[in-house]
Structure 1
């Protein structure tokens, strides 16, 4: 039997109660059918998380810098092996893996930047597909694990993430968001998807049926949808989109959510709500059966019912931290290292005599929330000592060593050797009273006890000094200090917001005071200056490496966006101190995200970046710094030059903001695709294998990004032959990149038949393809990059695809506009020395016949001051005036109104509206009023009920213009527009 047939057979033998029980994340066993207890979700973002020792690979943003899908696939395969090993040791470990994250990295302030791959959705899709393929395995029937794509859709802010609505135009939806998910689904290597917490265009993603339907249309088989944790409850509690949990759960199931991750392991609230929904007629048994079938297919894919016939059953519990996984982890780090800047004086390192490694991450390996427990960890300084055993490697973290004397007791804070006891009882300052204080920026500190060697933590409110690292869903190891006017200091525990005080009687330090006035006051004595240590280490060194970056649990992580994009002031002071003491200095940044590097670090001889690379971080970095491995990492997310450049974190319209490499007029400090090697490469020639081809028919397909999607000369692809030459003395692995560059768009109101720019503006730059080529010194090679011409398409609201579903998602189509396109090749999105012209032939579509037809309001060519919002709670989309705007304008270009005597608008009001809806046409460059339509009246007690009360309002038109014209509708604040019909 097929997987679908086996699932249907199982379903037929389940009772209604058993079926309902399977809809919760923690599904009970059904022993009579051989079904064990099952739980969706094992975290495996870059290694197995939260289940003890496991190989820790670089963060996804680092893996993406390899631009190597084959390497990313191998990492996914290794993660799947270790998930299988954990499952062998404990069968409750789920083989449904909640990874990868394919959300485009549209803004570097997003707290979860470390989890994604790229600002380019197609590159993110390609790498996410590769990781998914590794997780899935290569057996034709039984999956090694079942990957889950996260987080669907338009999720890129942590600030109020569960209640904010991402406003997406149809172009943003189809050109920037949906492509990130499509490739893995179409390839059949992702068996599940997790909706994101946020809303899209006013509707929570967990009830966005049309979006989930679109996703499932891509799949060759079934796709399960698993909710994010607590999201079903949030439909009522946080988002307040539904009045009660019965209605919200029923809506989520109808929309396509199959598994409810809610109330931890307690399934009773979920099953009770769904049972009541069945009883009230909000759900049918067919709704339940569809979801259970998809979950059963997911489980069958894992080999759960195959016994010894499961080809992956041979993976034993000892398949953790395998030698091959260690080697792969080191390779992945080295391949992900990006040389951002290099004047050639210091890198690659000559055999050093004396090296100073300074800064908070000098020899520290940090892990993030979705990391496992590494079996070992090698920092940069340790790896340097290993690589250069004859060298004198000195470490100075820059942390001050302090002693704290509590004024209430007159004694110093002291720590027991095991860190379990922290009291203000020491009569004098000695080793047991010393703390190393690291400033992570914006007043956030960690204090490491010299006595225990571990961090001070406020977990459980009684302070201890026994934490190995900053960690936890809410970090417990960070503090802020408050300076009083009398020169004393108080400490606030960041995680709880409570202030530290000293208990009477025991003199124990506890985090429980509510006000700074009630906090303990400390005399803060600096026993040893960290900057003095840095200066001494740097002054005696031949070269200094300043290692800066972030702690992944501080100032940017899940639930917390970054406060800014700058390096912490304390870190720049470490750099300045080291650089002023030694004129041979390299800045090494190890971070989860890009920084804006200001003038303070502009005098670095070289700047090198790595993500938090896991257990082999030090080895991989030194492999590149020493030149044992040629640097090949390239940025999959550009580094801005200013904090303003990325735009507004909560604004998802990248085109309007000029954000990301696609739309930005400024290339930034280090652009998308950038990365240096230790040699020079000349780009000599670009030749297209066909300088002209025909425009394909409009489509809803998103062609995959890749160097050779198709080698067939089938009329739909164009090949670019790029000749590159290594003009230096070292070998190189060059990443050859091909882009489309936009000409200026047609000015508003200009003749669209004129030559020059295309009617619908295209991205300023668009990655079409890339390929790696290895070149020995002096060697020249021709690299062939092939791209599907559909990659040039833009979303055209006036285009259509025959047979497309009739929902808001499919208003319009991807269309390649006839015209001239500039293709450019080079080493980054901002360094493209070669150009060639591609001509796409075809005929621009004619005007839109509005007379005698009904038009969805969202089919506007251009909007200003409007956003898409929900037509009804579960389906449809309309136009609404954006918050804070007095009115909004929807423009419909190149329409024919001739013969229309009236217009009927389908209107609703979100709140009382002042003014009418204006209908205007453009004749000879001047707009004139054709009519005005009064908005529906909202009663004082209607509240949000009027939001979905749609009225058909008709008004006569004054002399509809002849021929082709542009139409615009002016909506006053509060008005909502669903449709225009001209008669």
Structure 2
């Protein structure tokens, strides 16, 4: 080991701060700059193996981060661990100070690695409305990452998105800041674990407002006034930092009010570090430091771009050292950026490495990797998540399908293709990106210089398709016809599909998207769309099959709300499957056949047409929904399906809802007690949602704001008590002076099963002699759930469309 014998920084008993200071005092500028840089893992590989010769050239001064040993190569899990160990061994034994590197990976739908578990995409995870399940998912990801030798995951995506044209909608937790915050904080806790030495650094992205892009276009500006920025888009990040101890943030590609995020000192320093007390690292999005010059034209050259980014607070340049190499050296020499900024950034990077335990334990057990990668318990989490992520949007009594009741025609481009069940940052999708980058002369090829000798083979082991899962259950009663491709305009398969549907008792159409980053994808990063109708000729396929007269169930495997009027009006059942991952086919089959009761809820409003965008539940009273005529000339103003909507095969009602008090002092809390009853004939799960309305504020407020929720389960006749503890510190807003304030006045509380299906639980008044109360901000309250004695019910609350109507006063989405 090249670490100096007896040096303070090598002593694990010394406090981390002292170790950092000691090591900093020993470093040259070149060694410091190396800690702010990164290198693609494939740059250190030759012929499928680690190359010591390449390492001696690239790593001679050390390194901050290695980019995706698993996700940017075609290596299997044990090989990933071997290469990670070899890189660390070189850094520990052949560089002057022996500083290990952080290996980072993409973890948007699980670890992006060849043999790792592929979980449902984030929008599907959000549809579970179960943060604890997301914590378990992240915990599984943490175990797999640590086993392979990686230490930082580029997730969660905390972008609030209200424009589903944006291709990265699938990577998000939806439209509501509270739901995004709850799911995001749970993921951070699961990934970072109980201690840094056992955990993985979570990297929340993209800071901030990236999902509010102009026209739904990737990398486009976001136009967000300060109050909206604070209350909606910054809120999930703030909760992750203050509540969950988030250790890293990735800045966004876009600009806010003329300032690119990677040069935004106010956001990265004044807000993130100053106001919130964030002590971790800010990493660049890939290539985004140079983008200040080459894309935004905000900096005249690469050196100025590096100076602006470092000064703003960007600590590490990803995915490969570029502007933070010679260009940053020049900027430091010219005095364009203070040398102290360099030291601050390096100190933060080193602190991570000490806290992760890398100086003491830089290597992993290569022989034990496969016991931790895609382990049975991780597959079980993936399946449980997939089951609860499926949202039954519509059911005219056709579901569940009854085995033995007749023949089923299975049709559609996503019915027999497991690749289409996966999200854009699955390993399968990114192998395609690597291949395209190597062959491309366009922007992707310019950004990612993929060596010719990088092996790019099969992307993933064979996963089951929806056809496989249904065939296992229905046998010869299933007839399959592909019909068409996702985006290819050919209708050559229509005749066979129509014939299959006409001869069947029911037709199941599995339609939707193909996720990824390449030109063959219809959803994912940089795959933005101007229409929400199904891509290609899929809408025509729906019309052709419906015309046979056979009842049709549409299963939508997609990264955003999709489907035109005809599909949603003429299909007897519509199941939103999102991108459900490696166990998605089984989950879909189980729900279609009634083996599992669907219980997912929409985390995003489902538009009827792009002409409505943005459409979201938490709009202002003046949001045009209640003007003179109300609707558009050619369309209703409300969404096709509202936020929080999702049907099941049983029915639940709110039996009673009440507050424990009608008056509360600032800084205290109010309890909301709800009794939920299953009035159907089978067991099921429901998500009880709590909303508030502040109708007396001195700044206009949304018509509804989600403030808590709870997933409950009950058998037929079962009753469950839910007690929400709602702190007043959660009910504030930013006043005219942009100060977080809890005002005295009346608050209305609603509980129910969606944003347009709820009952008034009561009102309470916040009292004080001061109308503008300085109360510490709260991010959530507590929830307790308990079973009650069962009761007999006649199901009179269930409408013809299967929606549950709770008793009591109801506020429409106006």
When the two structures are superposed, what TM-score results if normalisation uses the length of structure 1? Answer: 0.64
- Aligned partner of 2:122 in structure 1 is 60
What is the aligned partner in structure 1 of residue 591 from structure 2? 624
> 1:758 and 1:271 mapped to 2: Cα distance?
51
List gaps (5 residues or longer) in structure 2: 1-13, 40-61, 64-90, 429-459, 773-814
Identify the structure with bigger relative contact order (alpha carbons < 8 Å, sequence gap 6+): 2
Correspondence for 1:819: 745
Q: In 1, are the aligned partners of 2:160 and 2:233 still within 8 Å (CA)?
A: yes
Task: Give the Cα separation in 1 of the matches to 2:580 and 2:620.
Answer: 33
- Partner Cα distance (2:338, 2:573) in 1: 64
Residue aligned with 2:677, SS: strand
Residues 649-674 of structure 1: CA distance to partner in whole angstroms, max 9, x if unpaired?
A: 9xxx975994999x999541111111
The answer for the alignment partner of 2:790 in structure 1 is none
Gaps of 5+ in 1: 88-93, 400-437, 448-525, 697-714, 744-756, 799-811, 847-983
Supply the distance in 2 between the matched residues of 1:654 and 1:23 (Cα, whole angstroms).
42
Partner of 1:386: 472
2:461 is aligned, of 372, 375, 381, to: 375
Task: Please provide the CA RMSD for this pair.
Answer: 2.9
The aligned counterpart of 1:685 is 656
Q: Deviations over 1:752-802 (max 9, x none)?
A: xxxxx433111111001111111111122221122222332221123xxxx
Q: State whether residues 621 and 702 of structure 2, in contact with CA within 8 Å, keep that contact through their aligned partners in structure 1.
A: no
1:395 lines up with 2:480 in the alignment: yes
Deviations 1:206-264 (A, max 9, x none): 11112112212466662101111121111122212222332331221121110122xx5
Q: Look at both structures and tell me which one has the larger radius of gyration over its CA atoms.
A: 1
The change in CA–CA distance for 1:321 and 1:595 in structure 2 (over 3 A counts) is same
One of 264, 267, 271 as aligned partner of 1:211: 267
Structure-2 change in CA distance of 1:155 and 1:656 (3 Å): farther
Whether 2:192 is the aligned partner of 1:225: answer: no
Q: Select which of 100, 104, 108 maps to 1:45.
A: 108
Q: Partner of 1:388: helix, strand, or coil? A: helix
Distance 2:543 2:687 in 1: 34
Looking at structure 1, the residues matched to 727 and 231 of structure 2 have their Cα atoms a distance apart, in angstroms, of: 15
Distance in 1 between the 2:401 and 2:647 partners? 12
Are 1:10 and 2:23 an aligned pair? yes
In structure 2, the partner of 1:759 is 698
Q: CA deviation at 1:678?
A: 0.8
Distance 1:160 1:272, change over 3 A: farther
Q: Is the 8 A contact 1:25 1:39 kept in 2?
A: no
- In structure 2, the residue matched to 1:257 is 314
User: Residues 660 and 794 (structure 1 numbering): CA distance in 2 closer, same or farther, change over 3 Å?
Assistant: farther
Offset at 1:39?
Answer: 5.5
1:640 corresponds to: 607
| 2:354 aligned residue (271, 291, 300) | 300
**Structure 2 counterpart of 1:552, from 508, 511, 515:** 515
Residue deviations 1:896-952 (CA, integer Å, cap 9, x gap)? xxxxxxxxxxxxxxxxxxxxxxxxxxxxxxxxxxxxxxxxxxxxxxxxxxxxxxxxx
SS of match in other structure, 1:85? helix
**3-state SS in 2 of match to 1:774:** strand
2:191 is equivalent to residue 135 of structure 1: yes
The answer to whether the 8 Å contact 1:54/1:375 transfers is no
Q: Which residue of 1 aligns with 2:441?
A: none
Q: 1:149–1:313: structure 2 CA closer, same or farther, 3 Å change rule? A: farther
* Cα pair distance change 1:12/1:658, threshold 3 Å: farther
Tell me the residue number matched to 1:789: 728
Note closer, same or farther for the CA distance 1:34–1:21 as it changes in structure 2 (3 Å cut).
Answer: closer
CA shift, 1:316, in A, is 2.3
1:218 to 1:796, Cα distance in 2 relative to 1, 3 A: closer
SS at match of 1:125: helix
Report the equivalent of 2:506: 543
Change in CA separation of 1:260 and 1:637 when aligned onto 2, cut-off 3 Å: same
Cα deviations across residues 332-377 of structure 1 (Å, max 9, x unaligned)? 1111011111122332544444211111111222133310244331
Which residue of 667, 672, 676 maps to 1:720? 672
In structure 1, how many angstroms separate the alpha carbons of the residues matched to 2:499 and 2:532? 30
- Contact 1:143/1:301 (CA < 8 Å) preserved in 2? no
Residues 1:160 and 1:784: Cα distance change in structure 2 (over 3 Å): closer
Q: CA deviation at 1:130?
A: 1.3
Matching of residues 193-592 of structure 1 within 5 Å: 193-213=249-269, 214-217=271-274, 222-261=279-318, 265-267=320-322, 269-307=323-361, 316-347=369-400, 349-365=402-418, 366=420, 367-373=422-428, 374-389=460-475, 391-399=476-484, 438=485, 440=487, 444-445=488-489, 529-553=492-516, 554-568=521-535, 570-592=537-559
Secondary structure at the aligned position of 2:156 is classed as: coil
Is the 1:596–1:643 contact (alpha carbons within 8 Å) kept by the matching residues of 2? Answer: no
Q: Is the 8 A contact 2:141 2:191 kept in 1?
A: yes
Which residue of structure 1 aligns with residue 710 of structure 2?
Answer: 771
Deviations 1:721-743 (A, max 9, x none): 11111111011211111101354
8 Å CA contact 2:744, 2:771 repeated in 1: no
Deviations 1:791-833 (A, max 9, x none): 32221123xxxxxxxxxxxxx2122232222211100011013
Question: Deviation digits for residues 607-635 of structure 1, max 9, x if unmatched?
Answer: 11111112111101112222222211111
Asked if 2 retains the 8 angstrom alpha-carbon contact of 1:667 and 1:830, the reply is no
Residues of 2 paired with 1:81 and 1:271: CA distance? 33
CA gap of 1:660–1:15, structure 2 versus 1, over 3 A, is farther
Residues paired across the two proteins, number: 662
Give secondary structure in 2 for the equivalent of 1:112: helix
When structure 1 is superposed on structure 2, of 159-168 and 100-109 the one drifting more is 159-168
**Could you tell me whether the CA contact under 8 Å between 2:605 and 2:615 is conserved in 1?**
no
> Residues 183, 160 of structure 1: CA spacing in aligned structure 2 closer, same or farther, 3 A cutoff?
closer
Which secondary structure does the structure 1 equivalent of 2:202 belong to?
Answer: strand
For residues 660 and 185 of structure 1, do their structure 2 counterparts lie closer, same or farther at Cα, with a shift above 3 Å needed? Answer: farther
Name the CA distance, whole Å, in 1 between partners of 2:214 and 2:16: 38
- Deviation track 1:689-716 (CA, whole Å, cap 9, x = no partner) reads 12111345xxxxxxxxxxxxxxxxxx1x
Cα distance, 1:219–1:6 mapped onto 2, change above 3 Å? farther
Query: What is the CA-CA distance between 1:583 and the residue it aligns to?
Result: 3.2
1:25 equivalenced with 2:38 (yes/no): yes
Inter-partner Cα distance in structure 2 for 1:530 and 1:69 = 42
Match of 1:84 in 2: 146
Separation of aligned partners in 1, 2:624 and 2:251 = 25
Work out the CA distance in 1 between the residues paired with 2:597 and 2:120.
Answer: 18
665, 673, 689: which one aligns with 1:737 = 689
- Taking structure 1 as reference, are residues 597 and 779 closer, same or farther at Cα in structure 2, changes over 3 Å only? same
Deviation at 1:556, TM superposition (A): 3.4
- Distance in 1, matches of 2:405 and 2:376, equals 30
Q: Does 1:101 align with 2:152?
A: no
- State the match for 2:200 in structure 1: 145
Give 1:644 shift. Answer: 2.1
Q: What CA deviation, in whole Å up to 9, does each residue of 1:512-559 have, x standing for no partner?
A: xxxxxxxxxxxxxx8xx4221111111222221111111113333312
CA, structure 1 residues 113+395, in 2 after alignment: closer, same or farther (shift >3 Å)? Answer: same
**Is the contact made by 2:123 and 2:603 (CA closer than 8 Å) also made in structure 1?**
yes
Q: Distance in 1 between matches of 2:621 and 2:31?
A: 50
CA distance in structure 1 between the partners assigned to 2:605 and 2:101 by the alignment: 41
Q: Could you tell me how far apart the structure 1 residues matched to 2:541 and 2:716 are?
A: 38
Task: Return the offset for 1:381.
Answer: 1.6
Cα deviation for residue 25 of structure 1 reads: 2.1
SS at match of 2:749: strand
Offset of residue 648 of structure 1:
9.6
Larger fraction in strand: 1
